[in-house]
Chain A
Amino acid sequence: QVQLVQSGAEVKKPGASVKVSCKASGYTFTAYYMHWVRQAPGQGLEWMGRINPNSGGTNYAQKFQGRVTMTRDTSISTAYMELTRLTSDDTAVYYCAKNIAVPGAHWFDPWGQGTLVTVSS
């Protein structure tokens, strides 16, 4: 079955960077966009951007432009999301989510289990 397994929780200091991984299995990794979504404690969902695992092309939400980098390693079916210059506002659960198998449809299914990133001095 399709599965996305993310890396473990991280604690970072303000100003640092974090890199979260998302290992995919059960489908052809390069065939579907991978998205990243975050959720601050007690808050709603916020789309950060997406990567085309085939080409490596990315689209980022303007809010994160200049601070986020999404990459992938097709040899191990893994996507990465790196966020730099962290502040306490970046404390959140970060999810990777696979684009569904409908052409042009940016809906997310399934999602990874989430990675809690805590930014604290």
Chain B
Amino acid sequence: EIVLTQSPATLSLSPGERATLSCRASQSVSGYLAWYQEKPGQAPRLLIYDASNRATGIPARFSGSGSGTDFTLTISSLEPEDFAVYYCQQRSDWPLTFGGGTKVEIK
């Protein structure tokens, strides 16, 4: 199965700063990668799909890039509500798999 490795495990930043999260795949997933946000006690929410397409209602400060094995989620200027855990997911091959997550915490 395709293994997704996210880094860093934890990112400590202040509101207003730029966040850059990485997801690396064990083999090429082409552009078939998504990002989700998860807050405590809530279900995950789709942010980005097909590497760079924002899901409905997602603010423009969230952007995704990459292809093949290396992907990035960028939050241009962190808002208080953005402090959460972020997961990447691939749909290039079965089984669908998720990365281990990156926690974005307040510095």
B56: chain A residues at CB < 8 Å are 109
Q: Would A100 and B44 count as touching, CB distance under 8 A?
A: no
Fill in one digit per residue for B5-21: 1 if any A CB lies within 8 Å of its CB, else 0. Answer: 00000000000000000
Within 8 A of A (CB), among B22-71: 34, 36, 43-46, 49-50, 55-56
Q: Assuming the A-B contacts A61-B95, A107-B89, are A114 and B43 also in contact, with contact meaning beta carbons closer than 8 angstroms in the complex? A: yes
Give the residue name and chain of the B residue nearest to A111 (CB): B43
B87's partner among A45, A95, A106 (CB-CB below 8 A) is: A45
How far, in whole Å, are A119 and B94 apart by their CA atoms in the complex? 28
Give A64 to B4 CA distance when docked, in angstroms: 20
Q: How far is the CA of A102 from the CA of B54 in the complex (A)?
A: 13
Residues on A with C-beta less than 8 A from B87 are 44-45
Interface string of B90-107 (1 = CB under 8 A from A): 010011111111000000
**Size class of A's contact patch?**
20 to 34
Determine which of B43, B55, B91, B98 lies in contact with A46 in the assembled complex, contact meaning CB atoms within 8 Å: B98
A109 to B44 Cα, complex, angstroms: 9
B27 CB to nearest chain A CB (Å)? 17
Structural contact, B49 and A47, CB atoms closer than 8 A: no
| B interface, CB within 8 angstroms of A | 34, 36, 43-46, 49-50, 55-56, 87, 89, 91, 94-101
* Interface residues of A, Cβ cutoff 8 Å to B: 35, 44-47, 59, 61-63, 95, 97, 100, 102, 105-114
25 sampled A-B residue pairs with Cβ under 8 A: A44-B87, A44-B98, A45-B36, A47-B89, A47-B95, A47-B97, A59-B94, A62-B95, A63-B95, A95-B43, A95-B44, A97-B43, A100-B46, A100-B49, A106-B96, A107-B46, A107-B49, A107-B50, A107-B55, A108-B44, A108-B89, A109-B45, A109-B46, A111-B43, A111-B44
